[in-house]
Amino acid sequence: MELLKGLPLRRTFLAVILNLLALTLSTTALLGSYWCTGTQKVPKPLCGKSKASQCVGVPMPSDADASNVSSEDTVHYSWETGDDRFAFRYFHTGMWLSCEESMEGPEEKCRSFIELSPPAERGILWLSLGSEMLYISLLLISFILLMVEILHTGNPVCGMKLNAFAAVSSVLSGLLGMVAHMMYTQVFQATVNLGPEDWRPHTWDYGWAFYMAWASFTCCMASAVTTLNTYTKTILEFKRNHIKGYDGTLKDHPQHHQCFIQQISSYYEPKGKVFHSVSEGVDFYTDLQQKILQREPELDLDEVLGQTIGEDRC
């Protein structure tokens, strides 16, 4: 029995750990800006004093010619052709921001991904953000319910209710998370094709935040399955122990307890047992008629019927 009592608690602990892991991963992915990474093909800037690499070299005129020709009349020639005229700068994008490498310095230039997305896709992006926040909120609610179940162990019925609500919350959060991730993928692919010219990536791939978000979804669904398994096994163990515990005599229990126990036992009775039939009803009224004939003539039929029903009430 101690082992049976410990197994649901262990499964609840496992569900809490998976839920907390899913909550951590999803929050980190939402706040991160590495859902997608890649390179952008941009023209190389002109070389100057502040830029000596990844630039287009410009031949400097001699001092004698420089005095006669102004800088506006100078024609710059570049012998670079093909991809040599372009630089491939690194960029990374999340749900909120898109940052790319600056060609003029080591710092990054960040822009709002909502403004970069096509106007027709912004509604889907906002819906994706809302679903992601609801996903995290339901995960948090499920985590709180599971913690209350662990700490509040005095009432098993209350614990089963908390377990059921936590399971439903985990399943709903997992569905919302899956929808949010798929909608963001659709919006990003549309932005790649229809976004601003200076932002469109040359090559791109999914980043660590994207994989972290799907790992969070996996942990969330595993937590939901574990919670549902705990609830189902607790119900089955309760039914089995309830039937075994009341197979014997019921003389020591009050009459209303005996009725309740027999009703529960008959409700969960195995299929192999014979159920009541019409013949038993005929036998019941035959016995009733015999009791009436054996009693005194002045005994009312209603009194005998009431006594018999009271005996067989359960």
Residue 268 parent element (H or E): none
C-alpha count within 13 angstroms, C-beta hemisphere, residue 19: 31
pLDDT for 273 equals 45
Q: Is 145's pLDDT higher than 70?
A: yes
Report pTM: 0.65
Give phi and psi for 92, each to the nearest 5: -145, 145
Instruction: Please tell me the distance from the alpha carbon of residue 210 to that of residue 33, in angstroms, as a whole number.
Output: 10
Residue 288 lies in a domain: no
Residue 188 parent element (H or E): helix 156-194
Instruction: Please tell me the distance from the alpha carbon of residue 281 to that of residue 256, in angstroms, as a whole number.
Output: 23
Residue 112 lies in a domain: no
The 10 Å Cβ neighbour count of residue 153 is 12
* 203 against 282, higher pLDDT: 203
Give phi and psi for 258, each to the nearest 5: -65, -40
Mean pLDDT of 24-38: 94
User: How big is the chain by its Cα radius of gyration, in Å?
Assistant: 38
Residue 129 lies in a domain: yes
Measure the CA dihedral 179/184/190/195, to 10°.
160
pLDDT for 258 equals 46
Mean pLDDT of 122-133: 95
pLDDT for 244 equals 63
Extract the tokens encoding 184: 């963001």
Residue 19 lies in a domain: yes
* 286 against 16, higher pLDDT: 16
pLDDT for 30 equals 94
Integer angstrom CA distances of residue 293 from 194, 283, 285, 288: 96, 15, 12, 9
pLDDT for 286 equals 57
pLDDT for 154 equals 66
Measure the CA dihedral 122/127/131/137, to 10°.
90
Tell me how far the alpha carbon of residue 34 is from its chain's centroid. 21
Burial string for 111-136 (b: 16+ CB within 10 Å, else e) reads eebbebbeeebeebbeebbebbebbb
- Of 120-134, 198-212, 259-273, the range with the lowest mean pLDDT is 259-273
Query: What's the total number of domains in the chain?
Result: 1
Residue 164 lies in a domain: yes
Q: State which residues form the domain around 156.
A: 8-33+118-234
pLDDT for 149 equals 85
Residue 185 lies in a domain: yes
- What rounded mean pLDDT belongs to the chain? 74
Residue 248 lies in a domain: no
Instruction: Please tell me the distance from the alpha carbon of residue 11 to that of residue 111, in angstroms, as a whole number.
Output: 45
Mean pLDDT of 140-159: 83
Could you tell me the CATH number of the domain that includes residue 206?
A: 1.20.140
Taking alpha carbons only, the member of 52, 62, 93 closest to residue 192 is: 93
Placement of tokens 């001092």 in the chain? 63
- Of 42-46, 186-190, 193-197, 201-205, the range with the lowest mean pLDDT is 42-46
Instruction: Encode pLDDT of 235-293 as tens digits.
Output: 777 677 666 655 544 444 444 444 444 444 444 444 444 444 444 544 555 565 565 55
Mean pLDDT of 154-173: 85
pLDDT for 237 equals 72
* 24 against 305, higher pLDDT: 24
Instruction: Please tell me the distance from the alpha carbon of residue 128 to that of residue 159, in angstroms, as a whole number.
Output: 34
CB-based burial label for 34 (10 Å; 0-12, 13-18, 19+): middle
Residue 152 parent element (H or E): none
Instruction: Encode pLDDT of 299-314 as tens digits.
Output: 454 554 455 444 444 4
Residue 223 lies in a domain: yes
- Of 41-45, 63-67, 103-107, 161-165, the range with the lowest mean pLDDT is 63-67
DSSP assigned state of 46: B
Tell me how far the alpha carbon of residue 262 is from its chain's centroid. 42
* Position 51 confidence tier, pLDDT thresholds 50, 70, 90: low
Placement of tokens 């094709």 in the chain? 193
